[in-house]
Amino acid sequence: MNESLKVMTVVGSLHAKSVTRVAVDHVAETLRAGGCEVDALDLAAEPLPLVNTDTTFGADYYGPLKVRVQAADVYVLGTPDYHGSVSGALKNFLDHFWKEFTGKLFAPIVASHEKGLTTHDQLRTIARQCYAWTIPYAVSLHEKEDITDGAVNSDYLKDRLAMLAADLQTYGTTLATQRRADLAGTSPSFLAQLRK
């Protein structure tokens, strides 16, 4: 694939000093430096109405958002751990789409006071329901240990985010290439359902 990889980063925490935002923005910068096209969706700056299946899909904001989501090959999904699960803001974003995620890669980042593993599991469940792939490990951060003055501080988190950025470029590119081939081809792959 000669085109640059298209990544949508999503910040699923709404408060001004969100540590999730710091980590997601850090990855976005790494990806841009690596030649990716990054579309940053910060749900604090671009709040979405709650999904209402009577009205959402015909609403003015939905079409332009869908174009952006369809364009992406990879989604960096940042969320705080809220009660062991994803934030309402991120869940509401994800509830707007499903086929748009099919065959693509989710790369979650979770801010938690623990390891955020139940939140990662929830995102894997959501990915499975949408026929998406997920990075096979968990990247989590602790607001006190890993972030200082609005920047990634710990070597531990810097290394984890560098690994995530590298892997999502490698596997995101591989999956995007295969997805396009499957959509254009005739194999009975799970992507056959999306052929026009």
Ligand X SMILES: Cc1cc2nc3c(=O)[nH]c(=O)nc-3n(C[C@H](O)[C@H](O)[C@H](O)COP(=O)(O)O)c2cc1C
CB of 126 to ligand X, least distance (A): 17
Give the binding-site size for ligand X (rule: CB under 6 A).
15
Q: Does 113 bind ligand X (CB under 6 A)?
A: yes
Q: At 1, list the tokens.
A: 């694939």
Residue type, 146: D
H/E stretch holding 161: helix 155-184
Q: Does 144 bind ligand X (CB under 6 A)?
A: no
- Please identify which residue in 5, 9, 10, 20 interacts with ligand X, judged by CB under 6 A: 20
Residue 193: phi and psi, rounded to 5, are -65, -20
- Computed on alpha carbons and rounded to an integer, the radius of gyration of the chain in Å comes to 16
CB of 45 to ligand X, least distance (A): 14
- Please identify which residue in 37, 95, 143, 167 interacts with ligand X, judged by CB under 6 A: 143
Cα distance between the two ends of the chain: 22
70-109 residues near ligand X, rule: CB under 6 A: 80-84
Q: Which residues pair with 75 in a beta bridge?
A: 8, 106
- Please identify which residue in 3, 46, 114, 145 interacts with ligand X, judged by CB under 6 A: 114
89 C-beta neighbours (distance < 10 Å), count: 20
Nearest to ligand X of 19, 38 (CB atom)? 19
**Nearest-angstrom CA–CA distance, 137 and 88:** 23
Nearest to ligand X of 31, 110 (CB atom)? 110
**Residues near ligand X, by CB under 6 A:** 13, 15, 18-20, 80-84, 111-114, 143
